[in-house]
Each structure stands twice: as C-alpha cells, then as structure tokens.
C-alpha cells in the first residue's frame, strides 16, 4: 500500500471482521482523498470484488471530525505526473466509484462532519448511506470553485434525490445536515454521532449474513434499473432468480421457513 506524500501514514486503513471489510480514509482530520488513496482504492476494490469471503464493505474516515472534504487539490500536479493528464486523474476516480457502485456486495458509507465534493460522491456510489444526527455538512460545493462535480456527483445525486433537490444543492453550493439528508432521501438512516460507526458496522454484519448469490442478484437488478427498460430489468431479475435456484443458501432459506427458524446462510 502506498503512503501519502506528506507523511509516513498509509493512505487508508483496511480492517476485516468476518465477512465485513472496513476501509478508513487515513488523513485526519480532513480525510482528503489524495492520489495514493485513489491508487490504493482502485486495487483494493478489484480485490474485494473477487474475494468471496467479503460480504459487505464499510467506508469511513479516520477520527470523528469529518468523513472527507474530497480531493486533495494540492496533489493534482502529482496526479498529472503519475497518470499523464488531469483528465486521466478524474477518469480514474469515475472508474473507481463505478466499481464500488457495481460491487455485488453492499457498500455502506458513514457521513459525518464535512462530506464535500468527492466526500459525497464516494458515498453516492455506495448502496447505503448513514448520517450523523448533528454536525454533518453534506454537499457538492464545486460551483464555489468555479467548476462542476467531477466524480459523477450530479448524475448520481439526481438519481438519489431527484432533480429539484439536486439542483438546489449543486447550483447553490448548498450543504445539508444529516436530518435534512434523510428527509430528501439522500441517506437511509440518521444516528447520534457517537453511535454512527457502530451502527454502520452492525448494518454491514446484518447484510453480510444474507444469502450472497441473492444479494448480488438484487444489487445487479436495482443498481442498473435506471439504465434499462422495464423489459430488460425484468429479464435481469429473472436471471438473478434462476441463479439462486438450487443453491445451498436458497435451500437453507426454504428449509428454515418451513421449520420456523432463522436461516443460517453460508454464501453458497
């Protein structure tokens, strides 16, 4: 794993707890996502995608001050040197976030403190977003910098909260709180600040206990639903159903239902 240019710390921390992998942006207190972080994340997401023992992923930030203020703009020259152009730097970020969105295992983000620019765009690529009850400042303030969201933020925000709320946030460079994010559909849950990371891990454990083949099928169906016609979406759903039929988890689910007990899924 690479180290950040201004310290000896690794760009991220990676912890495993059973089927849950937690990825921590390791640049407290601001948790900027530098060039090394994105290079490391691209490799890691590829590994997570192919590792059958990983059943859910949590993204969080080091410390309790901020999830992330987004890209470390001071490192853009380094990124251009390493990747060849500014366009290549942003292409990589789009590529990595698309890979997170298309993971066939649930990805959960914790939103607390500043979640700005890329610090919201990464969570928008996740399947679940949990926000802090107090102190969260969530937004895409790129217009204040004379530019526009560059990591897919405008497209994903519209799909998440609708055009009216997306325009209100982006054109006004507006930040929203955790409770406001819940109201407009940007996050699924809001928790007291000191419970947020624990709750994210609990949710990840809950999702990790679900039948892996069925979870992967649901994610394929739901994440790509907006890109397909109804007929294509129904065909994808049928493929997912057929894939689970006869699997050990499907048999266990049926047996547990008939025996009136909680199923014990193994991911097979």
Query: What tens digit of pLDDT does each residue of 222-242 get?
Result: 998 777 676 776 777 677 767
Q: Do residues 93 and 190 both lie within one domain?
A: yes
Question: Would residue 140 count as lying in a domain?
Answer: yes
Question: Would residue 7 count as lying in a domain?
Answer: no
Give the predicted TM-score (pTM) of the model: 0.89
Could you tell me what percent of the chain has a pLDDT over 90?
71
- Per-residue pLDDT, averaged over 91-95, amounts to 93
- Per-residue pLDDT, averaged over 114-134, amounts to 97
Q: What is the pLDDT of residues 5-50, one digit of tens each?
A: 455 789 999 999 999 999 999 999 999 999 999 999 999 999 999 9
Verify whether residue 268 is a known catalytic residue: no
What's the domain range around 228?
Answer: 212-258
| Catalytically annotated residue among 47, 104, 121, 236 | 121
Q: Does pLDDT of 267 surpass 80?
A: no
CATH number (domain holding residue 138): 3.90.226.10
b/e burial code for range 218-254 (CB count within 10 A of at least 16 → b) = bbbbeeeeeeeeeeebeebbeebeeebeebebbebbe
Q: What mean pLDDT, rounded, does the chain reach? A: 91
Model confidence band, residue 1 (pLDDT cutoffs 50, 70, 90)? low
49 HSE (CA, 13 A, CB side): 15
Q: In the sheet that 114-116 helps form, which strands lie side by side, from edge to edge?
A: 114-116, 137-139, 175-176
Verify whether residue 206 is a known catalytic residue: no
Question: Would residue 26 count as lying in a domain?
Answer: yes
What is the reported pLDDT for 248?
Answer: 83
Q: Do residues 181 and 65 both lie within one domain?
A: yes
| Catalytically annotated residue among 142, 180, 195, 268 | 142
Model confidence band, residue 268 (pLDDT cutoffs 50, 70, 90)? confident
Q: Do residues 195 and 134 both lie within one domain?
A: yes
């Amino acid at each position: 794993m690479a180290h950040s240019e201004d310290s000896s710390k690794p760009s991220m921390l990676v912890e495993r707890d059973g089927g849950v992998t937690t990825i921590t942006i390791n640049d407290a207190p601001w948790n900027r996502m530098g060039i090394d972080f994105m290079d490391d994340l691209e490799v890691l997401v590829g590994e997570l995608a192919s590792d059958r023992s990983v059943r859910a992923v949590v993204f969080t930030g080091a410390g309790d001050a901020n999830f992330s203020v987004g890209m470390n703009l001071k490192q853009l020259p380094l990124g251009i040197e390493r990747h060849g152009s500014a366009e290549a730097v942003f292409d990589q970020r789009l590529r990595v976030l698309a890979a997170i969105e298309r993971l066939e295992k649930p990805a959960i983000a914790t939103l607390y403190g500043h979640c700005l620019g890329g610090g919201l765009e990464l969570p928008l690529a996740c399947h679940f977003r949990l926000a802090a009850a107090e102190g969260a400042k969530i937004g895409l303030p790129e217009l204040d910098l004379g530019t526009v969201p560059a990591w897919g933020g405008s497209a994903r925000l519209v799909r998440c909260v609708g055009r009216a709320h997306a325009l209100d946030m982006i054109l006004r460079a507006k930040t929203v709180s955790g409770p406001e994010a819940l109201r407009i559909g940007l996050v699924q849950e809001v928790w007291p600040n000191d419970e947020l990371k624990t709750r994210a891990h609990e949710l990840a454990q809950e999702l990790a206990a679900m039948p892996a083949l069925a979870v992967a099928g649901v994610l394929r169906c739901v994440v790509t639903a907006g890109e397909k016609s109804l007929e294509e979406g129904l065909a994808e759903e049928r493929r997912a159903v057929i894939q689970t039929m006869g699997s050990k988890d499907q048999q266990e689910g049926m047996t547990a239902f008939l025996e009136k007990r909680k199923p014990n899924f193994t991911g097979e």
